[in-house]
Structure 1
Amino acid sequence: METPVPTSSPSRFAAFGGGAIIGLLGGLIGLGGAEFRLPLLIGVFRFAALEAVILNKAMSLVVVATALPFRAGSVPLADVASQWPILVNLLTGSLVGAWFGAGWATRLNSATLYKVIAVLLIMIAVVLVFGHNTTSSGRPLFGGAALLVAGIVAGFAIGIVASLMGVAGGELLIPTLVLLFGADIKLAGSLSLAVSLPTMIVGFARYSRDQSFQVLGRNQSFLRFMAVGSIVGTFTGGQLLGIVPDNVLLPGLAAILLVSAWKVWGHR
């Protein structure tokens, strides 16, 4: 097992700074930044794969729990609650997927989990470039039972990915909400948070049964500083949203994910 990150002042500063930078990147594209934070935890802070996923999950929970009320000024919570059929549809699949994905992650050896994470980082990079600027048709892609089944299947797949990487899943949920359910892009951002929070809690509960969950207790100071940095960065990035053109920002961030995937793939 890898040595826990020391809780010295320099390490705390690095944790805060790293969290802030990652949060800023995520905030610039309207996400929590967990997909960028995971490679940082593995490659820079040298946590083992499963420990990094659990730490990432814990910090994602903090970011998402604060992001939803932050957005209430532009997207009232009543508007989110009024879309409860969509929330229930996706949650039916995502909660099961989250439990299944977390269980799968705890059974994989580290070498395999590194490769799974690398593949998922590549997938998210592709979605970031081709799925982020999706536009809503204003109507669902399917109707009746077909939409119900599609929502459950999509939620299940997203729940698995979210648990395996310790992310909120917004990079996958938002395109799904827009393309599958015809949701407005701004509303989709808040709906994705509403789906992500219980989905992450289920995955977190499953991880708590594994001995690697003790990484949270051993690194409480590190976790607090990085979580605060992530919130500060995400909030700042949100205020700067639109400053950098998407046709410059998104390919650049996708490139970061691809380089991270390559490094994670070969991690030992």
Structure 2
Amino acid sequence: MNKKQSVLLSLLTSTPIGALGGLIGLGGAEFRLPVLLGMLKLSARKAVAMNIAISLITIISSIIFRIPKISISTLLPLSLVMFSIIVGSMTGAYFGADFSKKVTESLLKNTILILLIFIGCLLICEGFVPFITGGINFGHVSIKVLVGVFCGLIIGFISSLLGVAGGELIIPILILIFGVDIKIAGTVSLLISLPTILIGISKNASNKMYSDKKDFTSLILPMGIGSIIGAFIGAALVSMISSEIIRLLLGILLIFSALKLFIEKK
């Protein structure tokens, strides 16, 4: 594949993935990775590094386009939950990097497979017959903070092992446990994912993974442009699509991700 074809493919494939990021609140790493590995024939190490860099562009673009559509007064009450999940996520990511050497990949994938299918089915059922109202009643704010930290530990742990931002887990946790509307949860998820992505990029930069200028011009730049265009489209659709449909879409994506994981495991 020549450079012109690579640029065109990068632009075309990144736009719909960026639209998912803008609509739901995901970095799109899981959907972008097969393109980098399969179509563009990158090595696994380089694909992960490029994926994280493009995810950063997707997340920042989605935040910029989504924030004006949501009142800041809506986000302020969630600041404590956001902070507690971020603290837990950073800690979980730190320990997850070491634990990855001890746990078998098969056990990890089986656990995530079951978790994603369960959450996906729960969200689809909730989309058809709403039964979750206001999340869990914690009784005291300190308990809510502890739960947020614990959830963050799980998110960061899994994210560090799989090399993703963790939006697929963050959004369901915000909806099912903390009772956040999915449209707001998508924006909050992007804000929570940002520190994890920045740590991943700094780690790859220290390992000289971004030293080749050709990667920037032929891959990161065109995929970044496609992600920005997609994020704009996705963010514009947020106000047009009901929360129930977005919840259904997220549930389907979670189950799809789980099945993809199962196929790869086989």
TM class, shorter-length:
0.7 to 0.9
Deviation at 1:216, TM superposition (A): 6.6
Partner of 2:134: 138
Which one is further off, 21-30 or 216-225?
21-30
What do you get for the CA RMSD once the two structures are aligned?
Answer: 3.6
Partner of 1:188: 185
* Alpha-carbon distance in 1 for matches of 2:75, 2:171: 14
Partner of 1:3: none
The percent of aligned pairs where both chains have the same amino acid is 33
Contact kept in structure 2, 1:98 and 1:200, CA below 8 Å: no
String of CA shifts for 1:61-99, please: whole Å, max 9, x gaps: 111112122112221335324432112211110112233
Counterpart residue type for residue 93 of structure 2: A
Contact kept in structure 1, 2:134 and 2:180, CA below 8 Å: yes
Contact kept in structure 2, 1:30 and 1:238, CA below 8 Å: no
Partner of 1:12: 7
The 1:206/1:13 distance shift into structure 2, 3 A limit, reads same
Match of 1:225 among 222, 227, 241: 222
Deviation at 1:254, TM superposition (A): 5.0
String of CA shifts for 1:173-228, please: whole Å, max 9, x gaps: 122122222333332222222211122212333343435x3477551120111121
Deviation at 1:9, TM superposition (A): 0.7
> Paired residues, what number?
256
Contact kept in structure 2, 1:98 and 1:159, CA below 8 Å: yes
Does residue 67 in structure 1 map to residue 59 in structure 2?
A: no
Does residue 261 in structure 1 map to residue 231 in structure 2?
A: no
Partner of 1:170: 167
1:13-92 to 2 correspondences below 5 Å: 13-27=8-22, 29-92=24-87
* Alpha-carbon distance in 2 for matches of 1:216, 1:103: 28
Counterpart residue type for residue 184 of structure 2: L
Counterpart residue type for residue 137 of structure 1: T
* Alpha-carbon distance in 2 for matches of 1:60, 1:155: 19
Deviation at 1:262, TM superposition (A): 4.8
Q: Which runs of 5+ in 1 are unaligned?
A: 1-5
Contact kept in structure 2, 1:139 and 1:183, CA below 8 Å: yes
The 1:130/1:39 distance shift into structure 2, 3 A limit, reads farther
User: TM-score with structure 2 length normalisation?
Assistant: 0.76
Match of 1:153 among 150, 155, 162: 150
Counterpart residue type for residue 134 of structure 2: G
What SS is found at the alignment partner of 1:181? coil
The 1:216/1:228 distance shift into structure 2, 3 A limit, reads farther
* Alpha-carbon distance in 2 for matches of 1:117, 1:82: 35
User: TM-score with structure 1 length normalisation?
Assistant: 0.75
The 1:230/1:130 distance shift into structure 2, 3 A limit, reads farther
Contact kept in structure 2, 1:142 and 1:180, CA below 8 Å: no
Which one is further off, 42-51 or 127-136?
127-136
* Alpha-carbon distance in 2 for matches of 1:139, 1:116: 28
Contact kept in structure 1, 2:25 and 2:190, CA below 8 Å: no
